[in-house]
Amino acid sequence: MDESVILHAERSFLVCRKPVGVECEHELPALLAEEVKCKVDSLYCVHRLDRAVGGVMVWARTPKAAAELSRQVQEKALKKAYFAVCSGIPTPDTGEMRDLLFKDSVKQKSFAVSSFRRGVKEALLDYRVLQTAALNGSPAALVRVTLHTGRFHQIRCQFATRGHPLLGDGKYGSRVKGAIALQSCGLQFVHPDTGRIMNFTLPLPDTAPWNLFAE
């Protein structure tokens, strides 16, 4: 891969831009290890992105940093934000989505359900509509999402449940062809060594359907 995937590197961690189509378990660590000239087994995954989703991630480079960053994930001190383009325009233009989600491991899909049972977990996010546009005569919205929980396909399922599937997400009802319009655009965490707040952001991709919207 010609373009660097490393956004920031220190002794105990690195921040990268995961390309769309690259999976987190084997492919991404190999890319990172090649670029920073380290062994793959010296990189520790503390959170994940779906293969179909790109964006900013942090990886630990020491066991101590892995433990600290994993603690932040568990205690929701590591904060994640996403850009998404959905069909239609959510109303209100700023709000909260709270659902009970069931992960069907056979279908590899999440479903919103009405009550708790085995395998059901609460999902919570905040969203804000940033811009609207028309795609092939139909309305679409660019939204910024802040996750408060990290459930399987959470954003994809919660928006689709409300009739606003993400563009390109055929699994959840989109009729638009192409890559899923979801990007991890922001990451905030506490430096595992110094305690300093670290913030990293990515701009909108320059490909469709993102290029319908101004930066």
pLDDT tens, residue by residue, 164-205: 999 999 999 999 999 999 999 999 999 999 999 999 999 999
pLDDT tens, residue by residue, 46-94: 999 999 999 999 999 999 999 999 999 999 999 999 999 999 999 999 9
| pTM for the structure as a whole | 0.93
**How does residue 154 score in pLDDT terms, banded at 50, 70 and 90?**
very high
Q: Which of 50, 104, 126, 169 is catalytic?
A: 50
Here the tokens at position 31 are: 């890319």
Give catalytic status of residue 50 as yes or no: yes
Residue 214 has pLDDT above 80, yes or no: no
pLDDT tens, residue by residue, 99-141: 999 999 999 999 999 999 999 999 999 999 999 999 989 999 9
